[in-house]
Every structure is written in C-alpha cells, then in structure tokens.
Chain A
C-alpha cells in the first residue's frame, strides 16, 4: 500500500521537459502488458482446476469423446453419486476428516504449550530444550529407521500413525513463540501476582491471545494432514479400512496412468452402479474435487492471517 504514494501526479509530468508522448505512452503500455500477464496467470492457474470440475459434472461416456473445456455437455451428478456410493472412498473421506481434525487440535494445543514454556526467559531448561527442537528442523533419521521405529512402537496399521508422529513442529513452535514475544509481559506478571501458575496463565491468557497466529498454524497443519498420502502408502497400505482420501486418489491416478487410460482398470469404483455414464476419468475428476474443495473453501478467508504468520516465521530465532 506504501507504493500508492509514488504515483507521479500530472503536475510532475508536465514539469519535466522530456518527450511528453513517451512519458504518457510508457505507463499505458506497461499497464496493458502487466494486466494481460496477470490475466494469463489467472487462466493458467484456474483452467486445469475448472476443467476438472466440469469433467466431474459431465457424463463419463461423453467426456471420452473429448472437447470438454469449461462447460459440461451432458450434465450429471452420477459421478459424485458413484464416488459416495463406493464404500472405500466414503470411508477414506471420513478417515481423512478425522486425522485432519485430530492433528490440528493436538498440534495447536501442544505446540503452543511448548512455545509458551520456551518463551519464558526465567525457565532454567529453556536453552537446551529449544536447541533440541530446532535441530530437528535440519535433519531426519530417514525413511528406513523411521519405519522401524513405527514398527517397534506398534503403530503400523493403526490410525494413530497418522497423528502421533507429527504432533509438534519446531518451525510452528518458533512462529508461535515469536508471536508470544509480542504479548506484553505485564499481563503475565499481573496474573502471577494474582496467584496464577504457569499452566493457568497459559490457558487463560496466552492461548486466547494467540488466536491470529493460531489461525495460520491451524491452516498449515490442516492442509498438511489433509493432503498427505505417504504415511498411508508406507504404514497402513495393507489395511484398506485405514486408507485416506488422498491415497485412494493416488491409487486411481496410478492405475489409470499405467493402463494409459484403459477404462477396464478403475479399482471397482462405480462399477457397482452398472452405469456406462461413469468412467475412471470422471470418477478421478470427482474424487479430485472432493479432495480439494474443503481446503479451497477455507483458505481465501485466512489470507490476511497466513500472510502475516508467514512473515513472522521468516524472522528466525
């Protein structure tokens, strides 16, 4: 917004003796180019996604004929009905919802609690604990040792393998701690004089005041949990009832990619419908929409929070 002040007024343009035509033409050319560029960007960003929505609303056997761009030729809800009639995708949807909600709540509570203790300058173990957490940002033991740890902890093929290994993130902790640092110390002090302990101060004062930064963190954690598929692929792939929506989508995509779009392979989804209107391509489009819409409905409203949160995060240590 600061750059609003820099628009040269008409007076300054007239005062300069340079070729007036060039000075007038240049901004117009630039603005035209810039606007066209931005329109191009918007199209390139939105088109593939809009096209997927349209394909998901078009009859499958018609889509195969090609030529579906931004408007359905034979409108139908059949693809969505098939998706939700298939038990696997319906179950996977709820597993995804459950892991996302649980992960977000646990992350917010635990990471904020940790951030509060590490923001207390008088805390004797502040430095070593901070260091131990920060180091985890820069290395990880790797896939195989991680797999054996899950095995030893009996987390393989359980729902908890989605939630427990990622309850705290060092990066989020730093973002929250930086934010806590901006809360006036006098609030904490006066609560202490009233006899409140650290836990009470955290619950009653700090946690409620952290709402703006927690909105950002909640978005990051929820998006991460909702979009992850690798843990389902590695840790629970032998248990169909634990599959997540993204992992089901991945199976649909890889089966159709390997078969080069051969309609015979489609995980059995939609086949129970006995309808030729439903094809793997349209099922895939419908699942893609189901898997992305929840987040796309939320993020525009969080924009003012995450832009600030991200910039707090970049002010490191």
Chain B
C-alpha cells in the first residue's frame, strides 16, 4: 500500500514538473513580468546586505575600500565571548525572552478560557474589542503609559499606598531588580487580548458533542475547561510554543530601549541595544556586526531544530 502510494506520487510529480522551455516562458511572460522585478527587489533588500557580514571578520574602516580592509578572522567573536558586558547582555536577553514567553502563553490561555465561558455574545464581543486596543498602540505610547503609571506619583504607587501595602512610593523604574518583571508585564498588557484570537478560534472548532457527552457524565464547568477545552487547543499551543523558540534571542529592543535608563542598565540591555550602542553610536561596526551574526545564526539553528521536532510530532511543518 505504501509503495503504490509512493509510485502514485512519483507519477504525479513527473507530470507536474514540466521542463522549462522557451515557449513556456513566452506563454508565462506576464507572470514573469509581475514577479521577477519583485524578486529582484527582495534579493536587494534582504539578501544583498548579508554581504555586510564580512565586516565581522575585518577591522572594518568605512574610509577604506573592500580590498584594503584588514582581515582578522574570528577576533571579534572571541572578544565578544570574553567580554563581561556581552555576557550580561546575553543573560538579560535570555531572561526577558523566557519571562515574556511563559507569561505571554499562560495569560493568553487563561484569558481565552475565561472568554470562552462568557455566554452573552454582546458582552464577550465588547471585552474582546477592548482587549485588542493596546495591541494597536505603538511601544512608544505603551512605554509612556507604563512610565506614567509607575512614576512615584503614578497610579500604581497611589493604589498601593491607599491600600496601605507600602508606606513610601516605590521607584519602580530606577531599580534593576524590577526591570524584567516590568518588561514582562508591559508585554502582557499590550498583547494578551490579541494573543487570545488564535486560541478562541481553536476553541470554536472543538466538537460540541464532546461537551454534551461531558454534561451527561455530570462534569462541572471546571472539569469541562480542563478536560475538553484545554486538550482541544493543545495542538495550537504546541505549534505556537515551537514557533516562539526560534525567537528566543529576540527579547525585543523597543521596550528595553525606551524604558531603560542609566540606573538599570545592567538589567535592561539586550543584544539589539548592544549592537546599536557599539555599531551606530561608537562606530565599532565590526563588533556590532559580529553580535548581530551570532543572534541570527542561533535563531536560525533553533528554528531548524524546532521545525524538526514539530515534524517528528506529526504536526504541520513551519518552514
């Protein structure tokens, strides 16, 4: 059976794969006119800059021609991994990524479960629409709101004082130990509503017969949530988790750059800020490019691994 299937597929493939001939190209010239200029565009803007990676292996000086640059091999990479500030940046990036990942998943799933239990359609739609709002605000606006709320006379300190939980306002943004948590909370505030969309869609495709069967067995609401709804969206959760793994070094740039300040610099700097600082601000293009390459290579590797795992699990491939 397996063999006939393979043969069938091979036959179909040979039929499908036509030889590229001049007459075929002439026939499809309109498709070619419509797509090849766009192909040239993407090659120029996405692939040509990779040539710039050569900078990481040189002591790059903008004034010199390419042939005059001094090649130094892996010197900049070695420097990076001996540099305490880069290791710190790496730690910050990983920590904030993991915090964002876990907080993001848990809160979105809980919110989706609770939204799914609302029976009044109008109320549900209203809550959903409002919960999408922060997603459409820029990080500039969101960090502005976060900074205002966490100021010494901001609403958070105000509330905590009125509830007598603290005696003096906490300087949230001047202490490094709070920074990762604030970044995580900001992400949750901005994206939790938006992230429920995909889970709610998965929930609406769960077979209603499963709930009816659970009802007959006398299952309570919680039991149905944990034993019907949650398993029903498990494939979606796994796929999204795997997809996120490839982005583990992308803790973000905007939040940390906009919320960070001199006092929390040891906790706030990520790889992207490191690249910006060394590259564009200090003109050390080679070192900055090396850090950027490191990030890209790790991300692509993780993605390929994730892709392999999801293939094993029999889920849809991502690439």
A interface residues (Cβ-Cβ under 8 A, vs B): 1-8, 12, 16, 18, 26-27, 30, 34, 37-38, 41-42, 44-49, 51-52, 66, 110, 113-114, 116-118, 120-125, 129, 132-134, 136, 138-149, 165, 167-168, 197-199, 202, 223, 226-230, 234, 246, 249-250, 253-254, 257-258, 261, 284, 288, 291-292, 295-296, 299-300, 303, 307, 310-311, 314, 316-317
10 additional A-B pairs beyond A5-B211, A143-B288, A246-B140, beta carbons within 8 Å, are A6-B212, A6-B224, A48-B145, A124-B20, A144-B52, A144-B275, A144-B280, A198-B34, A253-B140, A300-B129
The interface residues of chain A lying within 8 Å CB-to-CB of B30 are 197-199
With A117-B35, A142-B275: A234-B280 Cβ-Cβ less than 8 Å: yes
Q: Assess the B38–A113 pair: CB atoms within 8 A.
A: yes
A202 to B31, CA, bound (A): 10
- Interchain Cβ contacts under 8 Å between A and B, 15 examples: A30-B117, A38-B127, A48-B155, A52-B148, A125-B36, A141-B47, A144-B52, A147-B279, A149-B45, A253-B147, A257-B261, A292-B141, A310-B197, A316-B316, A317-B317
B244 sits at the interface (CB 8 A): no
- Cβ distance B29 to chain A, nearest Cβ, rounded Å: 9
Q: Using a CB-CB cutoff of 8 Å, which residues 26-42 of chain B contact chain A?
A: 28, 30-36, 38-39, 41-42
With A144-B288, A168-B42: A49-B33 Cβ-Cβ less than 8 Å: no
A149 to B52, CA, bound (A): 9
Q: Pick the residue among B140, B155, B193 that contacts A229 (CB under 8 A).
A: B140
Q: Assess the A253–B136 pair: CB atoms within 8 A.
A: no
Main secondary structure on A side of the interface with B:
helix
Main secondary structure on B side of the interface with A:
helix
Q: Assess the A114–B127 pair: CB atoms within 8 A.
A: no
- Cβ distance A30 to chain B, nearest Cβ, rounded Å: 5
Q: Assess the B292–A142 pair: CB atoms within 8 A.
A: yes
The interface residues of chain B lying within 8 Å CB-to-CB of A134 are 319
What 0/1 pattern do residues 272 to 284 of B give for CB contact below 8 A with A? 1001100110000
A139 to B144, CA, bound (A): 30
Q: Assess the B140–A249 pair: CB atoms within 8 A.
A: yes
Name the residue of chain A whose CB is nearest to the CB of B18: A124
A46 to B295, CA, bound (A): 36
A122 to B43, CA, bound (A): 23
